[in-house]
Amino acid sequence: MSDYRPPLRDMKFVLTHIADLDGLTTLPDFTHADPEVAFAALDEAGRFFSDVVAPTNLSGDTAGSVRNPDGSVTTPPGFKEAYRQYVDAGWGAIKGPLEYGGHQFPGVIGLAVMEMLTASNMALSLCPMLTASTITALEKHGSEEQKQTYLPRLLTGDWTGTMLLTEPQAGSDLGALGTKAVPNDDGTWSLTGQKIFITYGEHDLADNIIHMVLARAPGGPPGTKGISMFLVPKHLVGEDGAPGERNRIECVSLEHKLGIHASPTAVMALEDATGYLVGDVHEGMRYMFTMMNDARLHVGLEGLGISERAYQQALEYAVERRQGRAVGAAKGEASPIVEHPDVRRMLMTMKANIEAMRAVMYDNAAAIDRADHDASDQARATAAARAALLTPISKAWGSDLGVELTSIALQVQGGMGYVEETGAAQYYRDARIAPIYEGTNGIQAIDLVMRKLPMDGGAVVGGFLDEMDRLAGELAAEGESPPVMRDALKTGVDTLRAATDHLLRCEEVNDRLAAAAPYLKMFGIVAGGYYLARLALAARRSGADDEWHRAKAATAAFYARQIMPQATGLLGAVTADAEALFAVDPEHLGG
């Protein structure tokens, strides 16, 4: 199993030319984190994650997390030590606010750090990811007392956070949840119910676990409008700020899963557990979406991080493995399989999609930074709209690609890839959860066509399409020869515009829902080509004439020729009505 080498040069290039880190760090909240400082931090993070965290990945998968008879959970050997070093190094606090002990770097730098953590060990990364979402929810909706009590320790990672949403009878339909919250005379609440699929609901990495729980308070309307959010700590916090009495929330079992074996996925039972209302009563769903939207970008990032790790291993194998004789090779000599066209196609498919994903997600994160920190109201609103549009693309397209690309990486390694000890199979297994996490990818597609496309009467998506069209014009003005990227981008944008116009005009809800998944995939493909073309143009304009910069143009050209045409093929599925989906009665679906 190969080591992980953080692709720092690629990451910095995207931060510079897509996320506009230079401009971002002129905002008053980020002036202390200029690109030189930020890049030095990323260099150090790269060393830390490759040296300390990456070696725990395979052993963690083999050992898994274990629930003990007393309900406690033991994580795999080496996890506590690696996590402690992560906390001591301050990586969890990198994007946290200064007033609560954070370093307040731009969120896009935090995303780059999280990419390296995820690639190093996806199962371990889920704990800091959910803690970050807990921080976001408290920062935006918690009381000042809650912020002062919990944020400093969550930011350091000394305490961790979770989301308690799902219940046995209520999966994606949170309106059906039944956990009850009853007010107490002292201002606290007593919560009773059961939650399932709780990532890091119990573990031994931290002194306390802060659960953000959805429950029903008395007097609320049925459905999602009657849900409130409560903060339920594993250990009640004393006046001195230290964890004290054990709360009445416990792990009753751990799930046995396809992948992410090292990540404890808990069934949590609450029996008159003490909780604290976050924000206003019956506003819990709105607050929870703050957490989920933050987590959705990070789940898309799981597709990127794990694909990068799998790609590095597949490339190393393809360079070293000799089999067959490539065209033009000397007779009697076996060639490295990287010289065979089909293997090269697989590797280039991985490389191009990984670079496209990174650009989409970093721009998504930079838009969130500007939405939260820009001085101009108009600029914040524009950035918020861009972030809203890109988030379902980042999550669904990115996590779907994670499954596809880890499968390709396994294929490159053939039978050895299918053998567990090489680690290739683990990447494939681990990646499969991401399309399910934080709102399935079908839900992301529905969100895109039903909520995001109609924003501002279609002006938000229209503005993005116009932006991509302008780049095609720039490519034409630059005199690209042959005009591969320009022509592919123009065709892709025209196709995406036709699909978008169709959906904005479509009044039949089922037809729009039927088109949602192919439309999201089309959007991701075209957006990926757009961002790769931007990177290729930036590489050309830099004036550098080395293999690394030339590879940017070559990668974009490969994407234009081999991947962008897939978008045109999806147009028929987008514009078709839903009739074919319902043509067979359920009782006849089985044959």
Residues forming the active site: 438
Q: How far is CA 47 from CA 42, 117, 372, 376, in A?
A: 9, 11, 30, 37
Write the DSSP assignment of 386-410 as a string of letters. HHHHHHHIIIIIHHHHHHHHHHHHH
DSSP state of 25: T
Which of 219, 215, 133 has its CA nearest to residue 177? Answer: 215
Give the separation between CA 24 and CA 30, rounded to whole angstroms.
7
224 CB-near residues (< 8 Å, 6+ apart): 174, 175, 285
Instruction: Show Cβ contacts of residue 582 under 8 Å, excluding neighbours closer than 6 positions.
Output: 510
Tokens 């969130």 belong to which residue?
Answer: 368
Q: Say if residues 130 and 143 touch (Cβ distance below 8 Å).
A: no
User: What long-range pairs does 7-12 form, CB within 8 A, spacing at least 24?
Assistant: 7/308, 8/42, 8/43, 8/46, 9/548, 10/355, 10/358, 11/42, 11/112, 11/115, 11/358, 12/39, 12/42
Contacts of 390 (CB under 8 A, 6+ apart): 360, 363, 364, 367, 527
- Helical H segments across 321-413, by residue range: 341-373, 377-392, 398-412
Find how far residue 552's CA is from the centre of its chain: 24
What is the SS3 assignment for 277? strand
DSSP letter for each residue of 290-318:
HHHHHHHHHHHHHHHHHHHHHHHHHHHHH
CA-CA distance, 378 to 94, in Å (whole number)?
Answer: 27
What Å distances lie between residue 86 and 32, 38, 195, 499, CA to CA?
A: 22, 18, 29, 45
Q: Do residues 184 and 190 touch, judged by C-beta distance below 8 A?
A: yes
